[in-house]
Structure 1
Amino acid sequence: MRQVLVHLIDNALASGATLVAISLRMDELNFGPAVTVILSDDGPGVPCQDREKVFDPFYTTNTHGTGLGLAISRRIIAAHGGQIHFGNPCRGGASVYITLPVARTRSEL
């Protein structure tokens, strides 16, 4: 998870963002309680047509990128039972939502 967060912050700063905000919220989803991590920035954003493509291996909008960071991030999140997606309008700034199930305690199993 640390790798995912560091990668997303690096992407924001590389895009020219000067502000990155991280917030958390608790959700009750169809599979039970979940936590959503929201990373928002004031950079140029991700064009609507690229929103799903940026998670494909080797697709990049960065001239110095490999196109692997977000693909790896999506796999890490999925391995923890979660999801990652963009949730902001297609105009300036980016907001990435990472939703993960809340771990159960031994007594709840």
Structure 2
Amino acid sequence: MERVIEINRDITERKYLEMQLIQASKMAALGELAGGLAHQLNNPLVGVQNFVQLLLSRMAPDDPNRKLAETIERAGKECVKIIRNLLKFSRDSHHDFTEVDINRIIQDVLSLMEKQITLKGVKIEKALSPNIPLFRGNETQLAQVMMNIIQNGAQAIDGSGTVTVKTRSLDTGETVLVEISDTGRGIPKEYRDRIFEPFFTTREEGTGLGLSVALGIIKNHGGRIAVESQERLGTTFTLSFPTAQTKEETKSKK
């Protein structure tokens, strides 16, 4: 009997390792694709930006077309930010890490998204613990993770419902948890093992990149992500981030 249990455990561990290797190779391929796209898009975008700035320099302040040119310039700047994020995702960006306040990042993300989400009849609820420790991370990347998962939760709700964001710390402050729950339609059982695959989506308008990018960013922060879902009841994503590195660095500075 013990022999059977040991064999089953070995098979389970082997399958888990195989899945991890497959996912790692997919994320590496996605990183290469993101980097390649960013470089390909950057050159023509620089040309567009330069021509718009030249055009603006030759326009009078009261030119009726000036606002249109300024709109193009702003859109170009947003594209530059997206390309920079793609480049950061395609390479190890630990050198961009600083001490971050996850509560503030969540508040900033919700301030951008809340109005659009509530217009669809979806409520946003927050339960952010006031004593969350800081940890080392990249604010832009973490904001992207929160935005992707919150947006997915809102899109999973048909009609009225609620997206809830909670934070708390575990292990005497050595782990920060973020829980993002929705009361949506849930994830079908046959799709739960595939939701983090690059380009996998069940929505016609979806790209299938949101959760795979989120997974890559979370792993880059030394964190983990888990999902629990029940059809017609909703889904909860639990993100965990270690803070031990921050504590060790703080001690070494004293």
TM-score (norm. length: structure 1): 0.86
Instruction: Kindly tell me the number of residue pairs found equivalent between the two proteins.
Output: 106
CA displacement 1:27-58 (0-9 Å, x = unmatched): 22xxx821110001110111222222010001
Alignment partners' CA distance in 2, 1:8 and 1:104 = 25
Contact 2:157 2:182 (C-alpha < 8 Å) held by counterparts: no
1:104 and 2:246 aligned: yes
Query: What residue in structure 2 maps to residue 62 of structure 1?
Result: 203
Superposition map of 1:33-44 within 5 A: 33-44=174-185
**Letter paired with 1:39:** I
Q: Which runs of 4+ in 1 moved over 6 A?
A: none
Alignment partners' CA distance in 2, 1:36 and 1:54 = 21
Superposition map of 1:1-109 within 5 A: 1-16=142-157, 18-28=161-171, 33-88=174-229, 90-91=230-231, 92-102=233-243, 103-105=245-247, 106-109=249-252
**Letter paired with 1:66:** T
What is the SS of the residue equivalent to 1:45?
Answer: coil
Q: Which runs of 5+ in 1 are unaligned?
A: none
Give the share of equivalent positions with the same residue, in percent: 32
**Letter paired with 2:237:** V
Alignment partners' CA distance in 2, 1:9 and 1:107 = 32
TM-score (norm. length: structure 2): 0.39
**Letter paired with 1:56:** E
Give 1:21 shift.
0.5
* Higher relative helix content: 2
Alignment partners' CA distance in 2, 1:108 and 1:94 = 39
Q: Which runs of 5+ in 2 are unaligned?
A: 1-141
Higher relative contact order (CA 8 A, sep 6+): 1
**Letter paired with 1:34:** T
Alignment partners' CA distance in 2, 1:60 and 1:76 = 19
CA displacement 1:54-89 (0-9 Å, x = unmatched): 10001111121111110000000000000112034x
**Letter paired with 2:147:** V
Alignment partners' CA distance in 2, 1:48 and 1:97 = 18
* Higher relative strand content: 1
Alignment partners' CA distance in 2, 1:11 and 1:46 = 11
